[in-house]
Structure 1
Amino acid sequence: LTLNLVSSPGSGKTSLLTRTIDDLKNELKLAVIEGDQQTSNDAERIRATGVKALQVNTGKGCHLDGHMIGHALDGLQPEDDSVLFIENVGNLVCPAAFDLGEAHKVVILSVTEGEDKPIKYPDMFHAADLMLLNKVDLLPYLTFDVDRCIEYARRVNRNIKVLKVSATSGEGMDSWYQWIRATRALAAIGA
């Protein structure tokens, strides 16, 4: 099962991913391909969890592509029956148009970004199967309208599933994990 995690920079992708790995690594086989324009900071954070991670730097490129993923898979060699997370370059425009062979695009939107992101960047939200509304622990301190955000997301993709999570507090993370388990089970039977 391959999941392509996409978002703008600062949405909490890496924090969400490290929390997910820490909570699921004893249950599932996991591997990560990290995409950034520069540095290996995020891959180092992932490796610190004990899970295999391979960094792909895109330089001036604003997204990963299938060719990059193919080479990364050769180097990473994830175990059979594993969940492969691709943490794409932080960008809500470029990665929307590129199929990396993933089973699902998962868009992460933090409540600090504004509820109108789905209608400002409709291609990304249209391409995603799941939206993780992250940093919900900060809602008491913000004027973010959760219902309006979900309405906007469903305006561009009526089938998008939405889960409210906080990688910091753990709120909603069990729903995310249940989604991963269910999606993996469906993939295993070829559904």
Structure 2
Amino acid sequence: MTVRETHLVELVDSNGQAIGETTVADAHQLPGRLHRAFSVLLLAPDGRLLLQQRAAVKTRFPLRWANACCGHPAPGQTPEAAANDRLREELGIGPIILTKVGTYLYRAEDPATGRVEHEYDHVLRGELAPDDPLLPDPAEVADLRWVEPLDLMAALDADPLRYAPWLGGVLDRLLSAGNAAERSGGR
């Protein structure tokens, strides 16, 4: 078991209200315990998204493509603070300004590892230029690439098993937030 598996996560109800805490390892055992998480989407000025391929040693959905980074706030920690910690650890960047674009509640079982994701996911958006230096930790990240959001939507439909199961819902929150901003004139 990795050290990260012993960290505490905040258990929540379906409305995101804290109801307790447990370890990462316990939260991800069958049947899965609903807990707080975050997913970071990093956008370039031209609108492309940074994807990471999860490292082979990940205990949940290894080698699948996912958003720039994700993780779990410690009990009482804000998703934004935890996300900036993980951006530094996984990609060697930060801190950066992150904006919440929504939440996404999902449950997914990983047939390869027997682990479960059951998360109340805070979807966070940040900006990063494609030429900003990235220092991915090989224990966390196998590869990185920039993609167009609409191309990613098509790829998710065509070959969903190449991607983390939460990526479609996270991307949907980003695109929905962008459409709402356009409808309101960017206000």
TM, length-normalised to structure 1: 0.29
Counting helix residues as a fraction of each chain, which structure ranks higher? 1
Counting strand residues as a fraction of each chain, which structure ranks higher? 2
TM, length-normalised to structure 2: 0.29
